[in-house]
Amino acid sequence: MKRPLSLTTSLILLHAIALAEPISPRPLRKLINEAELIIQGKVIFTGVINTPGSAYPIDYALIKVEEVIQGKTQEDTLKVQFYSNLVNPEPPVYRTGEEVIAFLDKDKKNDCYNTHALSYGLKHFTDKEGIHVYKQRILEMQFINILANGREKDKAIVEWMVRCATNKYTCWEGLYELTPQSYFVSDFETEFIRNESFLNTGQRHEIFDALMNKNELTYSDIGFFDIALGINDELMLEKLKKTMEKIKPEDPQFAVSIMERILKLTGDIKLEKLYNEYLGGFRMPSKNASKYRTLILEQFKRNMEGVEVKRIVWGWGEDLV
């Protein structure tokens, strides 16, 4: 027999829902421009703030400051509060002993700090190289921000994004803003009008090479395909097929994205029919939907073998064909 939710549990759930308002994704460039303080440090303690009468826990972390990268603080140790009960958007999660770069805003009311843009504003590291790369990109953008607005500054920003996209540590930070017709629309296009020469041939080849050198791809890597379209579509199709073969039924969003890009390159009618059937599986009763989509996914994988690039693909700028 199902038990009714207690008043306390109901309040926690309601509060979590209230807190879980979607926020705009924050790539590194925007974090640098928005956060009051950027520090590199080590998490030395985590705990829960005792708040009598509160229906939800407030977590906090103590961070030993190793370097102030942007902003000012005289404190050697910073207290950062966060809500670990959030689900979407994802909260920042601080773990004791972890090295981090944190983008913070001062909470004067509670005499502590909050993480800017939740999980986007906290970078976790397991090695020194990742810290070095992120610090270098931050310092580069700080210099770019000094430049007068104009074509040279815009060019420098795009070159910086390419450096981010082609590095394993900062890949998403660059791809998010470079990807044409991405699922997330960046404010960058209100500051820089995208045109046919937004990325030159050399930059697009850099993106293509980075794609080819990746052993495992995830949904966040989809932008590589969109940017590098037209460089070598035969190799790209091969990469798409290999990626498709590894996709599990539990990752339908990734499956749909790869299917769409295979169709764009091949225009294959049979694959397009399977793609539409796969989408139709999302409109079925939940009891049968998963099993149906798994069946169609396997059929798509079998039928894509031997399918070749057929459509003429239009590139950008110098690569228009």
* Whether residues 86 and 169 fall in one domain: no
* Helix, strand counts (H, E) of the chain: 12, 6
* Mean pLDDT confidence for 156-174: 95
pLDDT at 255: 97
* Mean pLDDT confidence for 294-311: 94
Let me know if residue 316 belongs to a domain: no
* Mean pLDDT confidence for 10-39: 72
* Whether residues 17 and 59 fall in one domain: yes
Label residue 108 by pLDDT band (50, 70, 90).
confident
If you ran DSSP here, which 8-state letter would residue 284 be given?
S
Least trusted range by pLDDT, from 51-65, 119-133, 224-238: 51-65
Strand ranges in the chain using DSSP code E only, listed in sequence order: 37-49, 58-70, 77-82, 99-107, 112-115, 122-125
pLDDT at 288: 86
**Residue where a domain stops, chosen among 111, 135, 159:** 135
**Residue where a domain stops, chosen among 135, 156, 185:** 135
For residues 280 and 162, the answer to whether their CB atoms sit within 8 Å is no
Q: What is the distance between the alpha carbons of residues 75 and 201, in angstroms, rounded to a whole number? A: 47
pLDDT at 285: 86
Let me know if residue 185 belongs to a domain: yes
CATH no. for residue 36?
2.40.50.120
Identity at 110, one-letter amino acid code: N
Q: Mean pLDDT in the chain? A: 86
Label residue 312 by pLDDT band (50, 70, 90).
low
Q: What is the distance between the alpha carbons of residues 190 and 230, in angstroms, rounded to a whole number? A: 26
Q: What is the distance between the alpha carbons of residues 35 and 47, in angstroms, rounded to a whole number? A: 24
Could you give the number of structural domains in the chain? 2
- Give 248's Cβ-side CA count (13 Å radius): 3
Let me know if residue 275 belongs to a domain: yes
**Residue where a domain stops, chosen among 110, 135, 160:** 135
* Whether residues 208 and 115 fall in one domain: no
- Decide if pLDDT at 110 tops 50: yes
pLDDT at 137: 98
* Whether residues 169 and 267 fall in one domain: yes
| Domain region containing 101 | 9-135
* Whether residues 89 and 167 fall in one domain: no
* Mean pLDDT confidence for 81-95: 85
Least trusted range by pLDDT, from 55-64, 142-151, 307-316: 307-316
- Other Cβ atoms less than 10 A from the Cβ of 22: the count is 7
